[in-house]
Amino acid sequence: MSHAIDLRIAAAKQAVLAETSRLHAEFGRTKAVLKYDGTRVTPVDIAISEAIQQAITTRFPEDQFFSEELALTDAPIPVTSRFCWVLDPIDGTNNYANGIIYVAISLALLENGVPIYGVIYDMARRVLMHGGPGRGVWDDDKPARVAPEAPHGHSLIGFHSPVQKSYAGEGKRLIENFKIRGLGSSALHLAYCAVGHLDGVVEHNNKLWDIAAAAAMIEEGGGRLDYLTPTPFPLKEFWLKSDRVQYIAGNAAMVARLHEILER
């Protein structure tokens, strides 16, 4: 195991946990405003983003740090460092501003553009989920795995309604075959799949920062992550206007069944 990676994992956990008090203190109290892309942001998003970035870049100034709350640039930012970080300071901002508990802080460590460790704070359960290739997957410091059961009518699938109406038919087929959970946090959907709380995930609306941390966890937990759009990894450049990412996840049998249902 790389000492450089171990140092960064420890720093990631410390930086995320340091912001949980701020997250809880402003829950349901702060106001959200619309951004350029129709998503929402609160002052807490900004504060957490700035604090975690400072904590990480102070210790690892040679690393690049990317956040959903970076200032919008006219062009993508090339990834040039061995290690880079991708942060979603509050995944589930609408939930957060409206007092709905399904909210996460999601921080990913990437090496040569590939997610190698994810740290996700689950506000609803007040626990840290984390893991990556060769280092296990952990849910509140307990070893965790993807749910092993074959797909069935009561399997729980994390799914958010697609932005594009052209995918409405896929949503209908999912509802006809499984039990659906739409938590309002894509990071939690994929992380919950990685640790076995959900049996599978289908997402149409994700951006890179929504999934980077949990993407580091899912295969280590015994699952599969199949992209239905071009894979964002290895990450070559970071841009807030990047295309949406679509994917399915679960154990191998679940992923195969989801491909059948979605017909792609």
Q: What is the distance between the alpha carbons of residues 177 and 200, in angstroms, rounded to a whole number?
A: 12
Q: State the burial class of residue 214 (Cβ atoms within 10 Å of its Cβ: 0-12, 13-18, 19+).
A: buried
Main-chain dihedrals φ then ψ at residue 201, nearest 5 degrees: -145, 140
Question: What pLDDT score does 1 carry?
Answer: 62
pTM of the model: 0.95
Question: What pLDDT score does 37 carry?
Answer: 66
- pLDDT of 38 > 70? The answer is no
H or E element, residue 103 = none
Please report the DSSP string for 28-97 in residue order: TTS--EE-TTS-EE-HHHHHHHHHHHHHHHHH-TTSEEEETTSPP-SSPEE--SSEEEEEEEEETHHHHH
pLDDT tens-place string over residues 50-78: 999 999 999 999 999 999 887 777 789 99
- Residue (of 154, 183, 213) closest to 92 by Cα position: 183
The pair of structure tokens assigned to 171 is 């949503």
209: amino acid identity, one letter: W
% of the chain at pLDDT higher than 90: 86
- pLDDT of 12 > 90? The answer is yes
Mean pLDDT of 162-183: 92
Q: Give the domain ranges of the chain.
A: 3-143, 156-262
Mean pLDDT of 139-151: 97
Q: Write b or e for each residue in 164-188: b if 16 or more Cβ atoms lie within 10 A of its Cβ, otherwise e.
A: eeebeebbebbeebbebbebbbbbb
Question: Which residues pair with residue 247 across a beta bridge?
Answer: 203, 227
Fold match flag (3-143 vs 156-262): no
The pair of structure tokens assigned to 231 is 């894979």
> Would strands 237-238 and 77-78 be described as parallel, antiparallel, or unpaired?
antiparallel
H or E element, residue 151 = none
Mean pLDDT of 195-210: 96
Q: Please confirm whether the linkage preceding 234 is cis (ω < 30° from 0).
A: yes
Question: What pLDDT score does 129 carry?
Answer: 98
Q: What is the distance between the alpha carbons of residues 191 and 19, in angstroms, rounded to a whole number?
A: 19
CB 63 within 8 A of CB 56: yes
pLDDT tens-place string over residues 99-109: 999 999 999 99
Q: What is the distance between the alpha carbons of residues 223 and 152, in angstroms, rounded to a whole number?
A: 17
Report domain 156-262's class.
alpha beta
Q: What is the distance between the alpha carbons of residues 228 and 245, in angstroms, rounded to a whole number?
A: 8
The sign of the CA dihedral 95, 99, 102, 103 is positive
- CATH no., domain 3-143: 3.30.540.10
223: amino acid identity, one letter: G
The pair of structure tokens assigned to 123 is 């506000």
